[in-house]
Structure 1
Amino acid sequence: MYRYCRVPTDNRTGIRELQNNNFSSSLTYVSNYQIKHEIPMTVFKPDYPQTIHFLGDLIRKTRMDLNLQIKDLAKLLKVEEDTIINWEYRRMQPTLPCLKSIVEFLKPHINGSMLENDFWQLCFKNNKFYPQQLNTFGEKLRATRMKNFLSIPQVAKEFNVDPTSINRWELGKSDPLPKLKDMILAWIKSDENNISTTFKTFHKNTKK
């Protein structure tokens, strides 16, 4: 994220140095011309994340990009201000219900700046159950379930199977029957294509 710095014109040509925090850049003055120079957001906001390694970094970056104060985001997510601070500085991990609210806040503002899988890996970075790879049917099933914040019993109910079957499929210990597997893969694909993955919508679309 950058902002422009407008340089006032004067009647001479020369070089001046702009130094602010850890940023330094030469600005050239030319008579009767005004030069614009891009300055990193970190000059204006020292806490602005330069790299995104954790979910807290992404929360803080998005909040600052939107010019939201901590109290504004706290009100939006219906949590205490200290909770936002703890998330941003990795002092505390969000609970699952809070993570769902965070995802709903972040997703519209990613705008292709991050790969979909990288985003979810960031969200579930400290969750040992989220798959690191999405190669097998079981890994894709678990990832889709977790991205939609669904429990194993909820998914089992929708596909009319026993919860232990979902667990075995996710662990790669067995596979569903071909017809059922095709239905589950269609649900997974709808999620990958960013189509609404609510079961009500999914079942409605599959009946067309």
Structure 2
Amino acid sequence: MSSGWQAANIGRTNASHRPELKMLPSYYQCTSCRERFGFAHTEGYYYLNFDHVPPGAQVPVADLYTIPVRPGWCKDCATVCIVEDIAVTRVFEDAYGVVRAGRPVEYPLQTENLDLQQAQEKLAAYLRWRLERRHPARALCCGGTSYQFLDVAQPLLKHTECDFGVVEPQSQYFIGGETYRTSGVLSPANVRVYSGEGDLMGLLTWRSRDSDTWEVTPTTYSQSMRTEPGSA
């Protein structure tokens, strides 16, 4: 465990928010016609310093915050997608208190591999963000709010193109591993970056290891749905 953390993990369950949701299905599939529905994007990051990214911007890695997400069905796009997982303010306050007491949390960010100061700074930023957040959670494919969560006990989702089928998850893998840290060197990463209100701001493309920054190509939801190069 990282230096600065208490050995005991007391209180972790209470401070965590739905820890079982750290996994996404690899894809969803209709039980009748077997049509598959995959995620176009499986991760995203908040950039909380500004509401937009100017062309040619360089964004420090330290200023990016992992977006907690849940699997959902976007009714506007008629596909599976990731949806912002925004807990009530009290959950963020409790998590910040636990981290200040020297214990790790799993929501809104897994802090077990961070040193104590980093964890406290990150959780303080998440708490400020939650206090200021006004827009309801968005489906991160299009920014809409017409969606259905798919990680509930019985998320019966009828496949409208099929007479008898329902859409169900197939296999799972862990999410939230900050894969952006190892991509963007040999090829553009094209990882989505969002404002604190969930607006799509741009794509993280090339990463400079020397300066520990990302180049960002500005884009919006409407632009990305027409022209986005690749997926995150």
TM-score, length of structure 2 as denominator length: 0.20
Q: Which has the larger radius of gyration?
A: 1
Greater helix share, 1 or 2?
A: 1
Higher relative contact order (CA 8 A, sep 6+): 2
Which has the larger share of strand? 2
TM-score normalized by structure 1? 0.22
